[in-house]
Structure 1
């Protein structure tokens, strides 16, 4: 809870990765990858509840052992290679509302494939978002040299703007053309 607002951390952890099988539970410095996102949420002063959305009982057991809730297994239709993160978030929010009769003011997406958060990053982002007069969401970004232009953004008056994807439609890395540098 932060200034009267509630926060649900959602950690999406599908088991069917083709590029790196079981990537979300691969060990990184002694812990499964998804455990780092759970720990970031546990370290937050403001996160009210932590949920892992997964399609795997094995992943669910690991998530629970690190302190996350797993009140459902994600249905097959939301566990495919073409499922978007937005669809997973929408399903989780709807589940909490309809099945658990719980609603939150904000959702904090903590992807397992971004484990290198420093302690306090989540709370700092929540504070920045909440105290900004116009922003409705916040996302962590970093300088990059080798990313695909379809995912690049620039800062303009405290907001991110698409660099190339001018309609800013959701993209999956599997759906874009690869780029190369020399």
Structure 2
């Protein structure tokens, strides 16, 4: 398959100013994603950014920045599917051909590996599914343990555990998207979905599933890097 990798990196981060190029260890955050993608089987990987400084840093780390994203797709309200659709259409117009699928690689999940990217590509090729999305085990944050609060009282939802403090091992394993990989066939994406009807899972371990949104997340990513990945 011909698959386009897209690394979205807008310049207006509020939670962590300059997040996409802030140093994590000895490299800017975006570099981790660029390096993993460069060694993968993706046909081409490009960076979609509205920020000239981010574009320059990305290029210094081997990134391909063929265009600058329009400002209307770089606001707090701009959704990721619109950003990816714009990048896909722009690249197909520039190259004069179509891609079979698109992989969204958010730089805020820096620890996804080349092997994770290639595994997702293999799953899509082997199953002919609509999409492959990376997930991580929720472990102790299982939905069956969650509660509503009404008038200060804890209320059990319909899906609550069978009895109080039920061991996690007795609960059906559940997963949550970790933000590392969204691989979607072209026609599904252009129909405004990353998932489609047949979505397959790429399960990743917790230490590789850090998703950075806040300053605390960034510090936690540094801790993971120092203690597990160095």
The answer to whether the Cα contact below 8 Å between 2:48 and 2:69 also exists between their aligned partners in 1 is yes
Partner of 2:132: 138
Partner of 1:31: 27
1:15 paired with 2:11, answer: yes
In the alignment, the residues of structure 1 paired with residue 25 and residue 111 of structure 2 have an alpha-carbon distance, to the nearest angstrom, of: 11
1:146 Cα shift? 4.9
TM-score when scaled to structure 2? Answer: 0.60
In the alignment, the residues of structure 2 paired with residue 63 and residue 147 of structure 1 have an alpha-carbon distance, to the nearest angstrom, of: 38
The alignment partner of 1:120 has SS state of helix
Structure 2 residue runs without a partner (length 5+): 147-174, 178-197, 202-212, 214-230
The answer to whether the Cα contact below 8 Å between 2:130 and 2:199 also exists between their aligned partners in 1 is no
1:100 paired with 2:95, answer: yes
Partner of 1:56: 51
Structure 1 residue runs without a partner (length 5+): 161-172, 174-182
Residue number among 2, 9, 16 corresponding to 1:6 in the alignment: 2
1:119 Cα shift? 3.6
In the alignment, the residues of structure 1 paired with residue 97 and residue 48 of structure 2 have an alpha-carbon distance, to the nearest angstrom, of: 16
Indicate how the Cα distance of structure 1 residues 42 and 147 shifts in structure 2: closer, same or farther if over 3 A, else same: farther
The answer to whether the Cα contact below 8 Å between 1:43 and 1:120 also exists between their aligned partners in 2 is no
Larger Rg: 2
Root-mean-square deviation (CA, aligned residues, Å) is 2.5
Query: CA offsets, 1:73-129, max 9 Å, x none?
Result: 111100000111101001101111223324211111110001111341110110011
The answer to whether the Cα contact below 8 Å between 1:14 and 1:56 also exists between their aligned partners in 2 is yes
Count matched residues: 151
Partner of 1:67: 62
Higher helix share: 2
TM-score when scaled to structure 1? Answer: 0.75
